[in-house]
Amino acid sequence: HSFIDLIHSALPQPNSLPSNMNQLLSMLQLKVNFFKKRKVCLLCYNDLAGDARICLNCPTSADSNIAIIYDSDLMSILSILLKKHWKTIFTYKEELRSNNDVSGDLDIGFAYAYQNLLRKFPNENFITALMHLDGVGLCKSNKLKMWLLSFSLIELPAKVRYQRYNMPVVSIWVSSKEPIASVWLGNSIDALKELKVSGIVNFK
């Protein structure tokens, strides 16, 4: 809610921006919220209760020392993406395996690293993620910033791969402080490791 409130404060009044997460999901025609919100104290790195504004364990705690993190449900999001694009992925991966660059755009999948991966695992039905990290200022007065970790699938053709809605969000960091990787991405890295081991089945 605080993130939506922040955007509200910068817009003319009245405005049509949804006032809560459920309304936002409805507007976007999303039936499920794929994000789990958590608050972290940047002084002691402990998780805080959802309604906490300061850390009771830290005498000097303030809003500026709190980070809000949104971790995504990677398994569900990736399953939806694969279900939507599995035919495109299958076709393009055949081009990658045959090293047949039909488009002639020298895409990353035709470079040495990915081709070497195909040679090492010729019988594996794998997908690979290209990670992206972006930061944007949200409010000049308190230096609030949002950092976004997302990824794209190399097995999608470039024109499809880099469309925003085909680049799943892994996690979001909202704070006036720069991200601390171990604090921000610990849960997401564990989820990625688990996903790498378990894989995804029945997505067609």
Residue 2 pLDDT more than 90? no
pLDDT at 1 over 60: no
Contacts of 98 (CB under 8 A, 6+ apart): none
- Helix then strand count (H, E) for the chain reads 6, 6
Distance CA 177, CA 138 (A): 12
Dump pLDDT digits (tens) for 136-190: 777 666 678 889 899 999 999 999 999 988 998 899 898 889 999 999 999 999 9
Position 5 pLDDT exceeds 60: no
CA dihedral 73, 8, 18, 176 (to 10 degrees): 10
Mean residue pLDDT across the chain:
84
pTM for the structure as a whole:
0.80
Q: What percentage of the chain reaches a pLDDT higher than 70? A: 80
